Amino acid sequence: MVFRAGPFYCALPLGEVIETMRPLETRALAGTPPYVRGLTILRGAPAPVIDMPRLLTGVETTVDRYVAVRAGRGPIVCATGEVLGVREVHVEPPEGPAAVLAGVSRTLIAAVGTLGTEPLLLLHSIAAVPDEVWEAAGQTPPENPS
Amino acid sequence: MMAGRTYGGKLAVGVAITVLLTLLTIAISVAGLAVVVSAKDSAITSATEDLAGAEELSRLMEMRIADYRNYLLDGRPENSRLTEEHHQDFRRKLDELQRGISDTASQEMLTKIRGLNERHAAASAEMMTERAVNNDIVAITRINDTKVVPVRTQLQQALAELIVRVRNDVDRDRQESSTRANQAIGLVIGLGVLTAISAVLVALRLSRDLKREVGAAVGHIQSSSAQLEAAAAQQVNGGRDQASAMSEITTTISELLITSRQIAESAQRVSKIAEETEAAARAGDATIDQTRSSIGTIRSQVDQIVQHMLALGEKSQQIGQVVDLVSELAEQTNILAINATIEASGAGEWGRRFAVVAEEIRKLADRTAASAKEIRTLIEDVRGAVNTTVMATEIGAKAVDAGARKFDDATNSFREIAQLVSTTNDATREIELSTKQQTTAVEQVNVAASDTARVSRETEASAVQTRQTAAHLSTLSSDLLEMVGTGRH
């Protein structure tokens, strides 16, 4: 599933995607990284909300959709831009152009491709949620998310 | 007595004194003449009546004696009768004379004569009676000489004494009247001398005052003549300058007259233009009313446009609400289609077909959302245009209102201008009339200035004549001083 996160197109494997929705009411959390918008109630359970454009680019942009994905200790919500839909994408492994990535980006981005003339980042796992967030959400942190 | 009086007063006083003395002289002369005449009349009366009466008595006595003697000689009754008649005449004359004489001595003498007459008459009557019976003349003569002649002699002597007495009285009256006449003559001569002396004194006093006062007056006249001559000379120069100035004024007034006529013609043209302007203002007033009606119509149309635009805005807003609903549905459909695709991806072959359908649904939803977005954009444009139009229309309405107010102001100004034009027209007519009157006045002034210039020339000529007269008066003053004996100052 392809969506927009700031200047980038991003894609998540359909197996990790639960559903898309409009942005829900989100409550901010203290002591969390800047890319964590806070907590929201997804289908009756609290779920952390990750600001994907801020996570990927460090800048804050408008949020159009929430995308619920499956993580290790439960679903998390990715705040994204416009959701383009389900597409077949062609990417290259991280050893290619994505070799320059490091840190969170390196653990988050599985491969890099293009969509038309725009770059496309294929994300393979959302493990960037700090433990404090999971604890605030009432869940234990994962053993080894990566 | 004459101190402080004018020379005329002094002359009147002197003449009055002289006249009074003259009248006094005349009155005294008349009184003296009356006294003299009375005395002379008395003297003449005594001379004519008393003396003549006495002499008449003597004459009658002589005639009576003659008749008596004739009777004694011839014895005729005629002589007896004449003797008696003359005797009666003697008695009457004696009575008259006794009534007329007032002198006491003469009265006594007449009384004595009356007694002697009676004795003589008795003796004569006795002798005449004797003669009637006796013709002896000698005897009669002898008797007569003894009886009658002595009494006759006494009577004749008494008569002679009476005549002498009366003649003395006449001489005395004559002398008395002559004395009175001489007294009157002396008094008249004295008064005449007094009058003459008074006249001489008055003449001397008047002459002295005449010399002094006339000399002083002539001196003043001489100095005044010199001043008058100088003033006349100045007046000559002034009159000449005035004549020259009046000539210039006349020329200037002529130019002013021409200018006034030009002004009058210009005022007339201005008045005509003002009348045309007033007519145009009245026509403009009707045009203003039509324009005001048009502005009202425009205001009404603008209001209707605003109402229609507001209605269009409301409709656009309703369309926007519908479009928002469509967009909402398209977005929901898009989300549902994506979620359906996600769900379908895990459902095998059937899931992939459903995913294809869901993808088509998502595309339709995207197209619907895009169309709704375009519609929304168009509606926003329409609303913006409507708002812009409404604002512009309101601004236009306000502008129309402002324009209407300004037009009202302009109308008021225009009507005020029309009023002012009417006032200006009236004022222009007044100016025209005043200018015509001014032209007439300037013409009159021109005539008056010409007359004044002529009078100035005449004044100059009169001043020349005055100067000559002043010089002549100065000469005459010198002559007058020489005439009154004062000599030149």
Domain span holding position B380: 232-484
CA of B338 to nearest chain A CA: how many angstroms apart? 6
Q: What pLDDT score does A142 carry?
A: 47
**Contact status of A65 with chain B (Cβ, < 8 Å):** yes
Q: Do B341 and A83 touch (CB under 8 A)?
A: no
Instruction: Extract the tokens encoding B23.
Output: 């009248």
Residue B146 half-sphere exposure toward CB, CA atoms < 13 A: 5
Percent of chain B with pLDDT over 90: 0
Q: What pLDDT score does A145 carry?
A: 39
Strand partners, A121: A10, A112
Q: Do A17 and B342 touch (CB under 8 A)?
A: yes
Q: What pLDDT score does B33 carry?
A: 85
pLDDT in tens, B5-17: 677 788 888 888 8
Q: Is residue B404 in a domain? A: yes
Mean pLDDT of chain B, nearest integer: 84
Q: Is residue B285 in a domain? A: yes
**Contact status of B361 with chain A (Cβ, < 8 Å):** no
**What's this model's pTM, rounded to 2 decimal places?**
0.42
Alpha-carbon distance of B489 to B215, in angstroms, equals 9
- Residues of chain B with Cβ-Cβ distance to A85 below 8 Å are 337-338, 341, 359, 362
Residues B206 and B86 in one domain: yes
Helix axis angle for B149-209 and B52-74, nearest 10°, is 160
Across the interface, of A17, A21, A85, the residue whose CB is closest to B359 is: A85
| Amino acid occupying residue B37 | V
Domain end among B165, B191, B225: B225
Q: What pLDDT score does A106 carry?
A: 63
Residues B192 and B319 in one domain: no
Residues B275 and B294 in one domain: yes
Q: Do A20 and B362 touch (CB under 8 A)?
A: no
Residues B238 and B196 in one domain: no
Q: What pLDDT score does A67 carry?
A: 93
Domain end among B225, B258, B276: B225
B121: CATH: 1.20.120.1730
Residues B189 and B258 in one domain: no
Closest listed residue to residue B334, CA positions, set B316, B358, B301:
B358
Asked if residue B252 has pLDDT above 50, the reply is yes
Q: What pLDDT score does A80 carry?
A: 93
CATH code for residues A2-136: 2.40.50.180
Residues B241 and B170 in one domain: no
pLDDT in tens, B270-320: 878 888 888 887 788 788 888 888 888 888 888 888 888 888 888 888 888
Closest listed residue to residue B170, CA positions, set B57, B60, B41, B59:
B41
Residues B272 and B205 in one domain: no
pLDDT tier, A23 (very low <50, low <70, confident <90, very high otherwise): very high
Mean pLDDT of chain A, nearest integer: 80
Helix axis angle for B137-147 and B149-209, nearest 10°, is 50
Asked if residue B376 has pLDDT above 50, the reply is yes
pLDDT tier, A26 (very low <50, low <70, confident <90, very high otherwise): very high
Residue A130, helix vs strand vs coil: coil
Q: Is residue B1 in a domain? A: no
- Residues of chain B with Cβ-Cβ distance to A22 below 8 Å are 331, 335
Q: Is residue B312 in a domain? A: yes
Across the interface, of A19, A22, A65, the residue whose CB is closest to B342 is: A19
Asked if residue B323 has pLDDT above 70, the reply is yes
Mean pLDDT of A14-23: 90
Q: Do B331 and A20 touch (CB under 8 A)?
A: no
CA of A1 to nearest chain B CA: how many angstroms apart? 8
Mean pLDDT of B352-373: 86
B346 → chain A, closest CA residue: A15
Domain count, chain B: 2
pLDDT tier, A20 (very low <50, low <70, confident <90, very high otherwise): very high
Identify the residue with better confidence: B335 or A146: B335
Closest listed residue to residue B489, CA positions, set B225, B245, B262:
B225
Residues B182 and B209 in one domain: yes
**Contact status of A131 with chain B (Cβ, < 8 Å):** no
Read off the DSSP letter of residue A24: P
- Residues of chain B with Cβ-Cβ distance to A83 below 8 Å are 334-335, 338
Q: Do B341 and A86 touch (CB under 8 A)?
A: yes
Across the interface, of B339, B355, B359, the residue whose CB is closest to A20 is: B339
**Contact status of A73 with chain B (Cβ, < 8 Å):** no
Asked if residue B77 has pLDDT above 90, the reply is no
Domain end among B196, B225, B254: B225
Q: What pLDDT score does A105 carry?
A: 59
Mutate to test the interface with B, among A3, A4, A14, A89 (most CBs of B within 10 A): A14
ipTM, 2 dp:
0.82
Q: Do A20 and B338 touch (CB under 8 A)?
A: yes
Who contacts B152 (Cβ-Cβ below 8 Å, separation ≥6)?
A: B65, B120
- Residues of chain A with Cβ-Cβ distance to B339 below 8 Å are 19-20
B362 → chain A, closest CA residue: A85
Identify the residue with better confidence: B461 or A100: B461
pLDDT in tens, B148-187: 889 889 988 998 998 898 888 888 888 888 888 888 888 8
Mutate to test the interface with B, among A17, A66, A88 (most CBs of B within 10 A): A17
Residues B174 and B242 in one domain: no
Asked if residue A122 has pLDDT above 90, the reply is no
Helix axis angle for B104-133 and B137-147, nearest 10°, is 160
Mean pLDDT of B85-114: 87
Asked if residue A24 has pLDDT above 90, the reply is yes
Backbone angles phi, psi at A66, to 5 degrees: -105, 135
Across the interface, of A18, A22, A85, the residue whose CB is closest to B362 is: A85
Residues A66 and A48 sit within 8 Å (Cβ to Cβ): no
B331 → chain A, closest CA residue: A22
Asked if residue A130 has pLDDT above 80, the reply is no
Asked if residue B416 has pLDDT above 90, the reply is no
Residues B246 and B288 in one domain: yes
Residues B81 and B199 in one domain: yes
Residues B476 and B330 in one domain: yes
Strand partners, B193: none
pLDDT in tens, A53-112: 888 888 888 899 999 998 777 888 999 999 988 888 888 765 655 555 545 556 678 888
Mean pLDDT of B419-424: 80
Alpha-carbon distance of B99 to B42, in angstroms, equals 16
Q: Do A18 and B331 touch (CB under 8 A)?
A: no
Q: What pLDDT score does B279 carry?
A: 84
pLDDT in tens, B221-230: 888 888 888 8
pLDDT tier, A4 (very low <50, low <70, confident <90, very high otherwise): very high
